[in-house]
């Protein structure tokens, strides 16, 4: 494309060009092109469609084209945008954190249901917090909580701290290996790493998202889950709840391990909206 042609580009033609270049890497190329151009221009998708015939500045087009190239090379859209929506809240993300995913909202919903039934302040910990999306979503929707965000990664905790600051939420942040050495909690939440090491190779997420937050260890991806369950046993208050996301093929193994660890508790596997095993819910008597 010549400089003259570039100078004559409209928003509509730039979006068409971006959409065509993204067709090979995403099922939603038009949407992603719109989000990327909106990011460059600091405008909404509605504005882009309203002003589709507006001429695009050369500098803006070159920035947009560079972002399209990054996405075409497979880089996740949230990392390019620098933020992603979860539970109706926009969270800062970085390659130091997992990208928040819709299925994890099921955990937040279960947490809020438990908190709504309590007549006291609830001590909550989000283990392996990453962006802080679980703990901070809970804090944003439930006033009677004291939230602790835990991660072994300093870089991830910096992102969580930034999100807490943007949301104006006072939370405690701890660099820690799971729950080791921490106090007691009424509600323990976690989306731990649970992918089996042998399954990491070839996964698109493994090329960009942090292996520390993906690789669950052992041959079945259950090493971190097993350690966490054992620690929960000594850190969860009577009447408390433990909520944990896991892989869709791990439901039976997680249920067996949880019932062995908590023989007197109510143990339930909850399916996500796709009908897949997704969430462990343990309620202590």
Q: For 152-178, what is each residue's pLDDT tens digit?
A: 999 999 999 999 999 999 999 999 999
Domain that holds residue 267: 96-283
**Interatomic CA distance for residues 255 and 71, integer angstroms:** 38
- Give the C-alpha separation, 218 to 260, whole Å: 19
Question: Residue 188: pLDDT above 90?
Answer: yes
Task: Check residue 6 and give its pLDDT.
Answer: 43
Contact 93, 100 (CB under 8 A): yes
Q: How many domains in the chain?
A: 2
Query: Alpha-carbon distance 71 to 78, whole Å?
Result: 10
CATH number, residue 205: 3.40.50.150
> Using CA atoms, how far apart are residues 197 and 157, in angstroms rounded to an integer?
24
Whether 45 is covered by a domain: the verdict is yes
Asked if residue 82 is part of any domain, the answer here is no
| Stretch among 35-39, 57-61, 180-184, 206-210 having the lowest mean pLDDT | 206-210
Looking at the structure, do residues 172 and 228 belong to the same domain, yes or no? Answer: yes
CATH number, position 31 = 1.10.8.10
Instruction: Point out the domain boundary residue: 40, 74, 108.
Output: 74
Same domain, 236 and 106: yes
- Pair 146, 231 in one domain: yes
The model's pLDDT over 220-275, given as tens digits with 9 standing for 90+, comes to 999 999 999 999 999 999 999 999 999 999 999 999 999 999 999 999 999 999 99
Q: What is the pTM of this model?
A: 0.93
Residues 100 and 182 in one domain: yes
Asked, for residue 83, whether it belongs to a domain, the answer is no
What is the bridge-based pairing of β-strands 277-283 and 266-271? antiparallel
Question: Does residue 47 surpass a pLDDT of 70?
Answer: yes
């Amino acid at each position: 494309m010549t400089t003259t042609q570039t100078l004559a580009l409209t928003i509509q033609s730039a979006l068409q060009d971006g959409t065509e270049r993204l067709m090979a890497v995403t099922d939603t190329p038009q949407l992603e092109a719109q989000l990327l151009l909106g990011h460059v221009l600091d405008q909404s998708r509605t504005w882009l469609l309203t002003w589709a015939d507006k001429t695009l500045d050369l500098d803006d087009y070159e920035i947009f084209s560079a972002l399209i190239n990054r996405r075409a090379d497979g880089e996740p859209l949230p990392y390019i945008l620098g933020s992603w929506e979860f539970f109706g809240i926009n969270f800062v993300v970085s390659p130091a954190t997992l990208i928040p995913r819709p299925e994890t909202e099921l955990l937040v919903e279960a947490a809020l249901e438990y908190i709504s039934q309590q007549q006291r302040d609830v001590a909550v910990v989000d283990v392996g917090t990453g962006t802080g999306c679980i703990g901070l979503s809970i804090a944003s929707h439930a006033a009677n909580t004291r939230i602790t965000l835990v991660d072994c990664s300093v870089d991830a905790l910096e992102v969580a701290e930034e999100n807490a600051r943007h949301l104006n939420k006072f939370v405690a942040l701890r660099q820690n290996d799971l729950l080791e050495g921490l106090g007691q909690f009424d509600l323990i939440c976690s989306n731990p790493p649970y992918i089996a090491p042998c399954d990491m190779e070839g996964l698109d997420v493994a090329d960009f998202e942090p292996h520390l937050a993906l690789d669950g260890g052992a041959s079945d991806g259950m090493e971190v889950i097993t350690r966490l369950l054992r620690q929960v046993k000594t850190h969860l208050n009577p009447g408390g709840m433990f909520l944990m996301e896991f892989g869709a093929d791990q439901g039976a193994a997680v249920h067996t391990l949880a019932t062995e660890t908590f023989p007197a508790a109510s143990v339930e596997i909850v399916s996500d909206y796709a009908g897949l095993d997704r969430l462990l819910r343990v309620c202590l008597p």
